[in-house]
Amino acid sequence: MTQWVESTTGGRDRGPRAVARAWFEVATAPSRFFRTGVAPGDQAPGLTFAMVVVLVAELSRFALVPEAYPVVAGRPLLSGVLWIGVAVFLVAPAGLHLLAAVETLLLAALAPDRGGISETVQVLGYATAPCVFAGIPSPLVRAVCGVYAFALLVVGIATVHRVSTRRAILLAVVPGTVAYGYGFRALDAIVTLLRDWYII
């Protein structure tokens, strides 16, 4: 069984191999991962993980979706690099910390034995794991990514902040909807599927 290697300062392994290992573990064994892979005061790996997920998703979207981004000065390639950079280096970290702040306020009311804000940042970041495929131009794929990410968020909140699954679902609704529903366009994909299936 893979174990996280803790340093004397409480940090975890960094680098591409650590990110890939974290992706595999959180996607296949989330309860164990959130129990052993989230360290107090060590939010950098979770933030980096989320940024990598956004990078891969947006690169695949740029490669597979025509006119995925607005073209600036008639330079589509440079425009794609610009917008992907904005998404990865500005939107992802700012959005993650904003949602973590919102989640912390919700936890203060519903989780008396909660962990700290750094754990919340990590849970939100690692739960994005399925969204690595969200750039694929398929409503079904995007919908599955969003639903799976929301489920991982529920598991992470329940495990790290020591609340029941029912309470974790309530706590996950707002940040999960914003991050995975709007950020990774899962809600739009779900609506498209419902229309295609003549449900709405």
pLDDT band for position 13 (50/70/90)?
low
pLDDT tens figures, 124-178: 999 999 999 999 999 999 999 999 999 999 999 999 999 999 999 999 999 999 9
pLDDT bin (cut points 50, 70, 90) of residue 115 is confident
Q: Residue 57: its pLDDT value, please?
A: 97
Q: Domain limits of the chain?
A: 16-196
CA distance 102 to 122: 14
The amino acid at 65: V
What is the pLDDT, as a whole number, of residue 7? Answer: 37
The radius of gyration computed from the CA coordinates of the chain, to the nearest angstrom, equals 17
Share of the chain above pLDDT 70, in %: 94
What's the CA gap between 28 and 24, in Å, rounded? Answer: 6
